Amino acid sequence: MASSGENKLFIKRNSSPFLAVLSAEGIVPKLLWTRRMDNGDVLTAQKWMKGRVLLPREMSSEQVADLLKKIHTSEPLLNMMRRLGKKPMTTTQILNQLESRAQGRNETRALRQSLNLLKDMAELAEFPNKMVCHSDINHNNWLLSHDEKSLYLVDWDQAVIADPAMDLAMLLYWYVEEDQWENWLGLYGLKLTRSLQLRLVWHMVAMTLRFMFWHQEHAEMKKMILFEKDLLWLNEYAADILP
């Protein structure tokens, strides 16, 4: 933070050019200026916002659905990601990454069942219309302005071009009761079809594996065990609804 009198700025060093597009689209707080320093570093200054992170119970709101829809349909975001060299991710690529990370780990029943499920359903879960996905829809990454009129989604380091079901699955699984999924998707602008349900479940399993591996790699074993328990439930859930 930098301040002068009552004015405050949020300063970042060597941030991605993606930040300028996010700012222009109103997805992150306004970018005020960019300056290149003598040592080659590039500083960016954003407007300092007074506000708070969203509470878990607020993640099912229409405001969240509207912003996520805006992100997923933004051509400027998609074009900038392409200019930065990002390629669309398929279900097969996601599966291959997870299988690679699984090597050398203790192969529990939950892990084996999950990888088999992802492999069996990868082709059916593939979706051709790829969009920009945040890929970490945690409530702590959603910032609401002090007057509650402006909502932002921050921390874009893991953004990818992929099936928007990647983001939708994470949000629904973590924050929306299952009997409300259809209603929330209606706010977003989608109907809960059989095809969408399959994609959502596929990405729920893939996302849970990804976070389980991350916590294991960072020696956070208690959190890893929680995600492993989620996998057991998801495997049973998927077996009941998938063909």
Q: Which residues are catalytic?
A: 136
Which residues touch 181 (CB under 8 Å, ≥6 apart)?
172, 192, 200
Q: Which residue has the tokens 């090597």?
A: 103
Encoding tokens for residue 144? 């609401």
Residues 44, 33: contact at Cβ < 8 Å? yes
Across the beta sheet with 42-47, the strand order is 2-4, 7-13, 42-47, 31-36
Please name the amino acid found at residue 209: L
The gap from C-alpha 167 to its chain's centroid, in whole angstroms, comes to 5
Residues 171, 67: contact at Cβ < 8 Å? no
